[in-house]
Every structure is written in C-alpha cells, then in structure tokens.
Structure 1
Amino acid sequence: MARTAGVDEAGRGPLAGPVVAAAVILPEGEFSGLADSKTLSETARRRLAGEIRARAVAWGLAVVSPADIDHFNILEATMRGMQQAVARLAPQPELVLVDGNRCPSLAMPARAIVGGDATEPAISAASILAKVARDQLMVALDQTHPGYGFAQHKGYPTAAHRAALERLGPCIAHRQSFAPVRRAMAARAALTGDETLR
C-alpha cells in the first residue's frame, strides 16, 4: 500500500491572519475520532491534534503570511502552503490526497477530493492540525493587535470584525487584497486624508 499523505488548509476565507496548510501521514490501522475539523468542538480538535502529532508517521505545517497572500492571491498562497507542508514530511509520501478540487504541483502523484476532509482520515487529520495551529496564531494576534476580536472570530468576516475594521481601520494582520479590507482602507483614507491608505 502506498505511503499516503492527507493535505488540507485552514483560513482561506478570513480577512486577517495567515493561511495554514498541513500534511499528515497516518500510521496503519484505525485512528478514531477523526472528522472534518469544522464539525468538531475546539476541545476535541485540540485533543486530536495532540494525538495526531504524537502518533503520525509524519506531519508538517506551513504558514503563509497575509503579505504573501496579498502578493500571490489566496489560491496561489494556499497551493504554496500545501507544497511547503508536504516538503516537510519525512519520510516523503508516495501519494498525496488533497481536500478540494485542485492539487498543488508536487513531486509525487496527487489527487484532489472534494469533501475529503470528511471522508479521508489523513485529510481529516491535516484539517485538524491546520485549524488548531491557525486558531492559536489568531489568539496570539489578538494580543498584539487588540480591539479586533481575533481570538473570538479568528479573522473571519463576522459582523463584529467588520465593525472593528470600520472603527479602527485595518492593521498589519489584515489581507489588503480582500475587498472589505480595501474598502475599510479607503474609508480610513477619506477620514484622515492619508492617501497611502487607499
């Protein structure tokens, strides 16, 4: 049986923070409790993340910054993160299963599986690692950039986050290429007269 890695990401949709990609090669045999990270409680995700890191044959994480997301675009940034996560696996996989409808360019065969985070245990494991790692990064960003509520909404475009954006303007953790952030920058520029914010 080919040594198979599952790959997934967390954070494509938020207005702030990085996108985090994870790759996991699970041991043979059953690994109970795995599911799409979005369907699990935070407590369950954290517990499972610890088990995955302890029991996996290999696992890798990659963090792509908001600046790189703005430079490359979110899709390309995500693909680059997945490439980096797979590159950090030792041993390297012989086959890679990727959640979604497209695969990054890799040195080994890869297959995209829509909804794979719910059906493929290795992708579920990657989904959990990526989500837990990104959530921790967003809690840390909440400490360095207070007022936006990053620890609560994790950078997603909630009503509270949009209100904070309007009130405070964007910070360095925001993705300037995303339309709501651009609008907030333009509004801030109109208020302050600072043309560099446009």
Structure 2
Amino acid sequence: MTTARATKPKTPRAFPTMALEAVLIRSVGGPVCGVDEAGRGPLAGPVSAGAVILNAEDLPSGIDDSKALTAARREALEIEIKVRAVAWGVGFASVEEIAELNILHATGLAMCRAVAAMGVEPKAALVDGNYRFKLPCDVQTVVGGDGLSLSIAAASILAKVARDRLMIELDAEYPAYGFASHKGYNAPIHSAALKEHGPCPAHRRSWSPIKALLGEQA
C-alpha cells in the first residue's frame, strides 16, 4: 500500500511592474529612470550599466530581469526598449578604470555615464541592489529590483546586451580565450586558456585570480 503525499503548488513568480516608478514619480514630481549594471564579476572586459526612462503608456511586452531571458529575447527587447522608451543610455567603465577605482566605484562611474547618455535629466533613479551609488539625481535602492521594477529590468537588458556585444568583439580580437561563449566569466574553458596563454589586455589584471596566475608564471 502506498501513501500519496500532497504537494504544495508552486507560487507563480511575480513579474516586474511600474508600481515603484509610480510612487517615486509622485514623490519627486518628475521623470524616474531605472539603472542596473552587468559584468561586475567577470575576469575580463569592462563593467556596463544601463539607464532607462520608460513610457508608461507604451511599454514593450515581456520586459523582465535580463537573467531570466534568452539572449535572443534580450536582443529583441533591446530594440523595443530603445524605440519606445522616453530616454535610454548605456555606459561603460574600462578594465583600466576598474583597476584604478575598484569594481564598486567603477560600476558607479558606468552608471553615471549611462544616466548622462540618456540626454534627459531624471529627478530620481531606481537602482538595483542595496548600495546607494552617487548619481546626478536622487537614488532609491531596490534589492532584487530587476525582478520588481520594469525600469530596472529594462536597464538590465540594455546593460547585458551592450556588454555581451562588446565581449563578442573582444573575442574576435583575442580568439584564444573564448570570450564570445562565457563573456569573460570564470568558466572552465576560460581558466584553461588563461593557464595556457596568460592574460591579455582585456583581462582585469588587478583581480586576485589573475594576479595569482601571473605569480605562477613569473
């Protein structure tokens, strides 16, 4: 005789909305942008950031946290966001700037550049995470914001697609490392290539895993 075990139904995942934007717009009395970054963790390549002011009356369908979307869907949404948003911008901080400033402050620099690139001054920004970066407007942090705010999710898509595209370009310049496949993250094939060839100019030489490798080769 077998005993059936009741299974608890899965709670459907919530999708991002414009609720946070609506509250903040009423508070500050002007446009609100979403801001997010891509590429804080890789061993190679710049860190990127996106900034987006969405048009609440003309929202692209299917905007979500970039990590929950396929590459093809992100690329399609990137086009829709750029066409239909009130304003958008993308900014980068280079490998050299990451070494000089550290990754946290380089991320803030990329975010400032993304906000400036919009060409529209927001009254406030919704920023993914819990660190209050210094931007040229008021900042409200949102932990898990790319899954809660449509503006942050849109910014995450722009940041991710822009950085992935740049890493594919770097793959053509430095084909030994496989940047097109892993986008600079510490994948096994990336580690193997580093051990065989050493770092290239696109690598974050200030980071401890690469410093260790350089020490081994010295």
TM-score class, shorter-chain normalisation, is: over 0.9
- 3-state SS, counterpart of residue 17 of structure 1: coil
Matched with 1:51 is 80
User: Which of residues 158, 173, 180 in structure 2 aligns to 1:151?
Assistant: 180
Kindly provide the CA deviation profile for residues 50-87 of structure 1, in whole angstroms up to 9, marking residues without a partner as x. Answer: 10111111111111111110111000100111111112
Preserved CA contact (<8 Å) 2:60 2:84: no
Matched with 2:118 is 89
Tell me, in whole angstroms, the C-alpha distance in 2 between the residues paired with 1:93 and 1:99.
Answer: 16
- 3-state SS, counterpart of residue 147 of structure 1: helix
Preserved CA contact (<8 Å) 1:4 1:93: yes
TM value normalised by structure 1: 0.92
TM value normalised by structure 2: 0.84
User: Which of residues 20, 26, 39 in structure 1 aligns to 2:48?
Assistant: 20
Let me know the Cα RMSD of the aligned residues: 1.0
Tell me, in whole angstroms, the C-alpha distance in 2 between the residues paired with 1:187 and 1:148.
Answer: 19
Matched with 2:143 is 114
Q: Which blocks of at least 5 consecutive residues in structure 1 are unaligned?
A: 190-198
Tell me, in whole angstroms, the C-alpha distance in 2 between the residues paired with 1:106 and 1:76.
Answer: 12
Matched with 1:70 is 99
User: Which of residues 84, 89, 92 in structure 2 aligns to 1:60?
Assistant: 89
Matched with 1:196 is none
Tell me, in whole angstroms, the C-alpha distance in 1 between the residues paired with 2:217 and 2:166.
Answer: 26
Kindly provide the CA deviation profile for residues 72-123 of structure 1, in whole angstroms up to 9, marking residues without a partner as x. Answer: 1000100111111112222211110000111221232110101101110000
Matched with 1:31 is 60
Preserved CA contact (<8 Å) 1:79 1:103: no
Identity of aligned residues (%): 50
After the TM superposition, list the runs of 4 or more consecutive aligned residues in structure 1 that deviate by more than 2 angstroms. none
Kindly provide the CA deviation profile for residues 35-62 of structure 1, in whole angstroms up to 9, marking residues without a partner as x. Answer: 1101100010000001011111111111
